[in-house]
Structure 1
Amino acid sequence: MNKGRVEAFTDAVLAIILTIMILEFKTPESFSISAILDQVPYLISYAIGYLFIGVAWYNHHYMFSKTRWISQNVYWANNFWMFATSFLPVATAWVGKGLNQQGPEIFYFMVYLLWSVAYFILSLMLVRANKKDHQWDAAQSIRSMAIFRFMRNWKWASLQIIASIVAIIYIPALQMVIVSLSIIFVGARFNKDSDQLFN
């Protein structure tokens, strides 16, 4: 399968998702600067969502740059991952309306879980495709990614799930802090060669 077509399609879908997210930001009716304060909860959830997609795109780009051959399994895993990501604008908008409410935070957590499972499956399919293509270094590079190692470690993943559930029960907004920390300290820990792929 043509890798460039899959990457172009993915980039287009992610661009649309980001566009939908910013369109949820409503222009205040008043011209007073204080009128924007009502939008602060959405700005917070939007910033987290933007960071989420930005980090995910970088990792996705790294994995696909390392990979020469796209199998059918990779194609469908990539579609599943984009499907999971497409729920982010709804989750972001709802959390923006109720940053410390259980309903929106539970939905965001469910989207985050679905996204995590989809991302792990995509990573696994890329590892297998590279092994099948005898690209052992590429497979090892994907396996060595911090996000892949974290998702594969059931103890750390379970700890994050438990922490998120406890946060949702007692202080729902804290769940967004947990997601942000996960994005920054796990997802954004890129492989050292990630900025040297095309040198």
Structure 2
Amino acid sequence: MKKGRLEAFSDGVIAIIITIMVLELHVPHGEGLRDLGPLIPVALSYVLSFVLVGIYWNNHHHMLYACTRVNGAILWANLNLLFWLSLMPFGTAWMGESHFAKWPVVLYGGILIMNGIAYTILCNLLVKEAGPNSPLALALSRDWKGMTSIAIYAAAIAVAFLNPLLAFGMYVGVAMLWLIPDRRIERNVAREDGAE
């Protein structure tokens, strides 16, 4: 199967996820700067989630660019990733409105772990479909960032029981890790294009 419909559907769902998250930013009931104070946790949660969803979208785009075809298993794995991403607005809103209380921060970490696992499953299926010597397989052969992210999320969930703000900081740390662009796919695709 060609990948066009999967790309278009995924882009649409991710755009809706980001739109839903921004709708949770409500106008304060006042006209002074101090009226913005209670919104700071909501805004911080939104910024983190926006960045994380953007990172998934960016990497998803690069992965699909490097593959030439998809199959039924890939379609289901992509839906699995989109399902977990679609829970981001709920986790974001609860964490922000609770001012980083323990259970909302724990739930948010659980959603992040499931996103990471779903993304890894999708990567593995795309590599399997593309073949072991494909640019995608060569680019994703050592996914230390993905495994490190999941480990940090798990540690942050444990930390959240003692210090939810520190756990939130660990989630921010993972986002910072991924803000540095991962050029592996671009390099391997360019190398493949140059070899032809």
Identify whether the pair has TM-score above 0.5, normalized to the shorter chain. yes
Q: Distance in 1 between matches of 2:80 and 2:179?
A: 19
**How far does residue 195 in structure 1 lie from its aligned partner after superposition?**
8.7
Q: What do the CA deviations read for 1:7-36 (whole angstroms, capped 9, x no partner)?
A: 010000000000000000111121222211
Q: Is 1:179 matched up with 2:177?
A: no
**How far does residue 197 in structure 1 lie from its aligned partner after superposition?**
6.6
TM-score, normalising length: structure 1: 0.86
Partner of 2:146: 151
On the 8 A contact 2:105/2:167 being kept in 1, the answer is yes
Q: Distance in 1 between matches of 2:136 and 2:158?
A: 38
Q: What do the CA deviations read for 1:12-70 (whole angstroms, capped 9, x no partner)?
A: 00000000000001111212222111110000000000000111111111100000011
On the 8 A contact 2:156/2:167 being kept in 1, the answer is yes
Instruction: Return 5+ residue gaps in structure 2 as ranges.
Output: none
**How far does residue 149 in structure 1 lie from its aligned partner after superposition?**
2.8
Cα separation, partners in 2 of 1:197 and 1:32, compared to 1, 3 Å: farther
Residue identity in the other structure for 1:179: Y
SS at match of 1:190: coil
Partner of 1:78: 78
Q: Distance in 1 between matches of 2:150 and 2:8?
A: 34
On the 8 A contact 2:85/2:115 being kept in 1, the answer is yes
Partner of 1:140: 138
Cα separation, partners in 2 of 1:142 and 1:193, compared to 1, 3 Å: closer
Q: Distance in 2 between matches of 1:123 and 1:9?
A: 18
Partner of 1:111: 111
Residue identity in the other structure for 1:114: M
Mapping of 1:89-108 within 5 angstroms? 89-108=89-108
TM-score, normalising length: structure 2: 0.87
Answer with 12-21 or 162-171: which moved more: 162-171
- Cα RMSD (Å) of the superposition? 2.4
Q: Is 1:122 matched up with 2:117?
A: no
Count of residues in Structure 1 that have an aligned counterpart in Structure 2: 191
Q: Distance in 2 between matches of 1:74 and 1:104?
A: 31
SS at match of 2:70: coil
Residue identity in the other structure for 1:104: P
Residue identity in the other structure for 1:61: H
Q: Distance in 2 between matches of 1:18 and 1:97?
A: 17
